[in-house]
Structure 1
Amino acid sequence: MNKKMIATLVLSSLVASAFAVNAGAAPDKQVLKDENGQVHTVVGQLGKVSGATAEERALNALDKAKGEFGFDKAAGTFKVKKSHKDENGTTHTKLDQVINGIPVFAQQMIVHETEGTVEGITSGYQALTANTDKARLNDKKAIQAALASTNTASDAAFTQAPAAELLYFPQGDQAILSYKVSFAADGETPVRYDVFVNAVDGTILNTINKVEHTAAVGTGVGVDGVTKTGLNTNLKSGTYYLEDVSKPMTGMIRTRDLRNSTFGFFIYNMTDADNHWDASTQRAGVDAHYYAGMVYDWYKNNVNRNSINDAGMSLESRVRYGSKYNNAFWDGSQMTYGDGDGVNFRAFSGALDVVAHELTHGVTEYTSGLVYQNQSGALNESWSDALGATIDSNDWLMGEDICLPGGTYTAFRSMQDPTLYGDPAHMNDYINTTDDNGGVHSNSGIPNKAFYNFATAIGSRNNAAKVWYTASRDYMTSSTNFSGARAATLQAASALYGSGSSTYTALQNAWSAVGVY
């Protein structure tokens, strides 16, 4: 990878840009910008708005701040996607930017208000000019183009069938009418693609593979030979299944076996006769199942989230994927774990932080929806690492429990010192690259270090993780960058602990220490 130092900003210009206050604005109002001068957050006293619904109030709030963001009128420019009232009574309404009634990819606004009092606006808005309002391609041709561009056969073993959604794709100051073609497929190298196809001429505008390939990354006996007690199973017709139906969810936690196939239709229930799961072929399943239950319990007990979608969806896991496969991935609906090569790695389900990391990718998909590319993608990775290091709190390493002695790796990443594994720990060392979706794994070291700074300063990983979760749920859009993440976590810390708290100050210092303002 090419490492390029990003330009170091002069402190005075940072202060001026990051905390600029518009002339005539209310005294407590702050307009926050990133290093490129783009407004990402307006916070403070934004006044009262009327409206019988959250949607009406949100549109009226956006009209009050249109000067800061640069649009003429909220109605017709934004469309409400969802609204959520948090534990403090603040309503967070997320709106998609639209052009000609068609959504713009990854461009969103979030209005934060309590009974009509506007407390802030989070922005992912760009002023864009549409190239056209009419598609020349139909969705079938767009799907064909997407499959061809990724060398995916039309009869591949799809775990998510190809589907096309018409939207505008931002490209510079243009909005290109496009199809987002999404699909996932098993195989020697599993994939989960979003392919953006120009709806006029069929060219490929962008491709994102959302399966991360880290490669550096009763009772039951786990992968490490340790017996797990309290393994929740399901007894049916005299046979025990790796199915946990004890949780307050509409679905269940279920773990199944691919038996070294890479095709999802070859999948088998994991069963046992005496509910003591000690066969060597069961060990990966024991850990995947046991750890998925621990992750569910953390989210439910600490932030009252009921499974990945907060509506009790099943947590599905598949183990023994492929032969000597060095990876684990979330494919949009389920978890999949390889057995490892037996030289560098043991089965990837054998690490609680790996399981928590992967399942948190699912949570992120349902909260902020961070696009898996560039800075938003690095945040997506980092948020998973942060929850992994919180739920598995023995150390600040990621994946060390599946790294075999004598192998090439001792861990995937360190949150305490990202540089140990070649990742940057400060914006001065940010890596500009087109590899790995814009360096999502390497550059995650910067927000990882910020989380470590914060959690150790306040003496609680749990409290730090609650801030990170609340920020993703309520204050981050799908295109949030590092500067926006600082603002989002500060807003979350203010909501949870108060802006005058030592927690809030510690968070400010944590981000400043890694050069994010």
Structure 2
Amino acid sequence: MNKKLTAALVMTSLIASALAMSSAGASADKQVLKDGEGAVHNVVGNLGKVSGTTPEDRALKALDKAKDVYGFAKATDKFKVKKTHRDENGTTHTKLDRTIGGIPVFASEMIVHEADGDVQGITGIYSELTPTASKATLKAKEAITAAIAHTGYQGELSEAAQAELIYLPQADRAVLSYKVGVNYLGDSPGRWTVFVDATTGAVLDAYNMIEHVQGTGIGVLGDTKTIETTYRSGTYYLEDRSKPMSGMIQTKTYNNGIFSSNMTDADNVWDAPKQRAGVDAHYYTGVVYDYYLNNLGRNSYDNAGHTMLSYVNYSNKYNNAFWNGSSMTYGDGDGVNFRPFSGSLDVVAHELTHGVTERTSGLVYRNQSGALNESWSDAMAAAITGDDWLIGEDICIPSGAYTAFRSMSDPTAYGDPAHMNQYVNTSADNGGVHTNSGIPNKAFYSFATAIGSRDIAAKVWYIASRDYMVSNTNFSGARAATLQACSALYGSGSSYYSALQSAWSGVGVY
């Protein structure tokens, strides 16, 4: 979740997004939405009826209704259903992976929205791609070796690296590649995604999703909290089994190293200094769980009640917190600028929301989709805390160099853009994911304050991510997605809808 802690990057370019009505295949009640580069990202409105006994049948037929807009001949054999979900209003959202010869194309999903055969819209970007190969000549284990070497890490991985054969879009080509996940711990932990050409062994692209910068229990700030624990064989454990989930909320410690153990206590009064980070991680994870369940109907980050596992006391004076795909890890801070990172509810909420995003829209962690990934975590954190519009202020030591990571009400106060005319083009920070998140952050702030409810704004953001966004959604697509979610929840004629339009227009996103 870390904010860059160096001088603000120079704001260099104006990135414009656009909403347009396409003449190709458009009717009076069908709108084709395009971004600033002319790519179609949504077709909305009444697209007609489709038949079929399964969501997959209906989704493929629905895509054929927009084939002229997107530019493909037939959906069959080009798309494969990934998952389907029926929302609270009876609309079925079917997400499909784009495929070439049965092999998925990375970050190229489509979502069909239909209710009992009435097609209400399609979300996704499509462009013609020419495959470079149909069969891999490189073995998966060779791709894994190349991927690990690219990260520069030479120690033992925290989990076995996995390689998946995919097509990677590059300009107008689809390069047959292995998508390799490389995860490790240490002073600078990594959660890398590396793309290796499946015919040449060359590394085509790579990014690290972990960004680095400089009873009762007592929390990091000295406050006393009531926490749920488990008693076994004369010892208390930080295990909360009271939630209506198949798993539990569990907190462990790295003991200021990289090898974990259970957090335990003899009398269930967790008041030792080294326990404070664990008390807060445990308690705040429960708060986040309760918010998602009670306000949004989501049971844990995966909506299947999976265990929410946290690790504290990571490494030595580690200034970071990160989600690794299945658990949370918090450093203790350096004691000069930062306290333990679990000592802030908004930090915990932010990181756990990365897990929710990973399992809903799956926003790729770079460029505009990565900035949206960061912003969605900030937005949910602001809704869950409900007190101010700063992120991370509770773990910043007053005598240190920082007062917060970001401000949603005034992103420019921390060197981040608040409008598209300040958008930062950069190769750093995965394309400025923390910096450019200021733009959608400001839109969320403006929307929530205009309607007087963070909870309603958060519900719109959550439904947008769950039902109307794909992994490569950009800012223009996010505007369309949140408006679709708002319409589904409250109607397109509501004051909420008009306030949301104004919020996005206010930051220059159309």
Scaled by the length of structure 1, the TM-score of the pair is 0.96
Does residue 51 of structure 2 align to residue 43 of structure 1? no
Given that 2:148 and 2:182 are in contact with CA atoms closer than 8 Å, whether structure 1 keeps it comes out as no
Does residue 238 of structure 2 align to residue 238 of structure 1? no
Distance (Å, rounded) in 1 between the aligned partners of 2:475 and 2:160: 33
**Alpha-carbon offset, residue 152 of structure 1:** 2.1
Distance (Å, rounded) in 2 between the aligned partners of 1:484 and 1:3: 23
**Could you tell me which residue of structure 2 aligns to residue 321 of structure 1?**
314
Distance (Å, rounded) in 2 between the aligned partners of 1:474 and 1:108: 12
**Could you tell me which residue of structure 1 aligns to residue 5 of structure 2?**
none
**Alpha-carbon offset, residue 22 of structure 1:** 2.7
- Picking from 331, 334, 338, the partner of 2:327 is 334
**Alpha-carbon offset, residue 61 of structure 1:** 0.1
- Picking from 346, 353, 356, the partner of 1:360 is 353
**Could you tell me which residue of structure 1 aligns to residue 184 of structure 2?**
185
Given that 1:458 and 1:506 are in contact with CA atoms closer than 8 Å, whether structure 2 keeps it comes out as yes
- Picking from 290, 302, 309, the partner of 2:295 is 302
**Could you tell me which residue of structure 2 aligns to residue 88 of structure 1?**
89
Given that 1:242 and 1:256 are in contact with CA atoms closer than 8 Å, whether structure 2 keeps it comes out as yes
Alpha-carbon displacement from aligned partner over 1:153-208 (angstroms, at most 9, x marks no partner): 2xx33233101000000101110000001121111100001100011111111101
**Could you tell me which residue of structure 2 aligns to residue 442 of structure 1?**
435
Aligned-partner residue type, residue 170 of structure 1: P
Given that 2:111 and 2:124 are in contact with CA atoms closer than 8 Å, whether structure 1 keeps it comes out as yes
**Could you tell me which residue of structure 1 aligns to residue 495 of structure 2?**
502
Bigger shift: residues 288-297 or 236-245: 236-245
Given that 2:25 and 2:66 are in contact with CA atoms closer than 8 Å, whether structure 1 keeps it comes out as no
Aligned-partner residue type, residue 224 of structure 1: L
Given that 1:260 and 1:321 are in contact with CA atoms closer than 8 Å, whether structure 2 keeps it comes out as yes
Give runs of aligned pairs for residues 463-482 of structure 1, distance below 5 A. 463-482=456-475
Does residue 286 of structure 2 align to residue 274 of structure 1? no
**Could you tell me which residue of structure 2 aligns to residue 430 of structure 1?**
423
Does residue 223 of structure 2 align to residue 226 of structure 1? yes
Distance (Å, rounded) in 2 between the aligned partners of 1:79 and 1:294: 37
Aligned-partner residue type, residue 199 of structure 2: V
Does residue 163 of structure 2 align to residue 164 of structure 1? yes
**Alpha-carbon offset, residue 21 of structure 1:** 4.1
Distance (Å, rounded) in 1 between the aligned partners of 2:126 and 2:425: 23
**Alpha-carbon offset, residue 276 of structure 1:** 1.3
Distance (Å, rounded) in 1 between the aligned partners of 2:402 and 2:308: 29
Distance (Å, rounded) in 1 between the aligned partners of 2:463 and 2:413: 29
Does residue 384 of structure 2 align to residue 388 of structure 1? no
Aligned-partner residue type, residue 135 of structure 2: K
SS of the aligned residue for 1:25 comes to coil
**Alpha-carbon offset, residue 24 of structure 1:** 6.1
Structure 1: 5+ residue stretches without partners: none
**Alpha-carbon offset, residue 23 of structure 1:** 5.6
Does residue 257 of structure 2 align to residue 258 of structure 1? no
Alpha-carbon displacement from aligned partner over 1:213-244 (angstroms, at most 9, x marks no partner): 354xx211000001112x11111122211000
Q: What RMSD, in angstroms, separates the aligned Cα atoms of the two structures?
A: 1.1
The 3 A distance-change label for structure 1 pair 321 and 496 is same
- Picking from 281, 285, 297, the partner of 1:292 is 285
SS of the aligned residue for 2:247 comes to coil
Quote the sequence identity (%). 66
Given that 1:414 and 1:420 are in contact with CA atoms closer than 8 Å, whether structure 2 keeps it comes out as yes
SS of the aligned residue for 1:158 comes to coil
Distance (Å, rounded) in 1 between the aligned partners of 2:182 and 2:160: 5
Aligned-partner residue type, residue 152 of structure 2: N
Give runs of aligned pairs for residues 137-176 of structure 1, distance below 5 A. 137-153=138-154, 156-176=155-175
Aligned-partner residue type, residue 220 of structure 1: G
**Could you tell me which residue of structure 1 aligns to residue 340 of structure 2?**
347
**Could you tell me which residue of structure 1 aligns to residue 133 of structure 2?**
132
Distance (Å, rounded) in 1 between the aligned partners of 2:310 and 2:352: 10
**Alpha-carbon offset, residue 145 of structure 1:** 0.5
Distance (Å, rounded) in 1 between the aligned partners of 2:125 and 2:241: 40
Distance (Å, rounded) in 2 between the aligned partners of 1:127 and 1:207: 23
Distance (Å, rounded) in 2 between the aligned partners of 1:162 and 1:169: 19
Given that 2:15 and 2:420 are in contact with CA atoms closer than 8 Å, whether structure 1 keeps it comes out as no
Given that 2:134 and 2:176 are in contact with CA atoms closer than 8 Å, whether structure 1 keeps it comes out as yes
Does residue 471 of structure 2 align to residue 457 of structure 1? no
Aligned-partner residue type, residue 345 of structure 1: F
1 or 2 for the larger relative contact order (CA 8 Å, sep ≥6)? 2
**Could you tell me which residue of structure 1 aligns to residue 13 of structure 2?**
5
Alpha-carbon displacement from aligned partner over 1:426-480 (angstroms, at most 9, x marks no partner): 0000000000000000000000000000000110000000000000000000000
Given that 1:2 and 1:432 are in contact with CA atoms closer than 8 Å, whether structure 2 keeps it comes out as no
Give runs of aligned pairs for residues 403-418 of structure 1, distance below 5 A. 403-418=396-411
**Could you tell me which residue of structure 2 aligns to residue 28 of structure 1?**
29
Aligned-partner residue type, residue 170 of structure 2: Q
Distance (Å, rounded) in 2 between the aligned partners of 1:135 and 1:206: 18
SS of the aligned residue for 2:119 comes to strand
Given that 1:259 and 1:267 are in contact with CA atoms closer than 8 Å, whether structure 2 keeps it comes out as yes
**Alpha-carbon offset, residue 25 of structure 1:** 3.1
**Alpha-carbon offset, residue 125 of structure 1:** 2.1
Does residue 392 of structure 2 align to residue 399 of structure 1? yes
**Where does structure 1 differ by over 6 angstroms across 4 or more consecutive aligned residues?**
none
Given that 1:40 and 1:123 are in contact with CA atoms closer than 8 Å, whether structure 2 keeps it comes out as yes
SS of the aligned residue for 2:284 comes to helix
Given that 1:374 and 1:438 are in contact with CA atoms closer than 8 Å, whether structure 2 keeps it comes out as yes
SS of the aligned residue for 1:161 comes to coil
Aligned-partner residue type, residue 107 of structure 1: S
Scaled by the length of structure 2, the TM-score of the pair is 0.97
Distance (Å, rounded) in 1 between the aligned partners of 2:451 and 2:285: 28
**Alpha-carbon offset, residue 311 of structure 1:** 0.4
Given that 2:161 and 2:180 are in contact with CA atoms closer than 8 Å, whether structure 1 keeps it comes out as yes
Alpha-carbon displacement from aligned partner over 1:26-84 (angstroms, at most 9, x marks no partner): 31211000010100000001000011100000000000001111111100111110000
Alpha-carbon displacement from aligned partner over 1:391-411 (angstroms, at most 9, x marks no partner): 111100000000001111000
SS of the aligned residue for 2:63 comes to helix
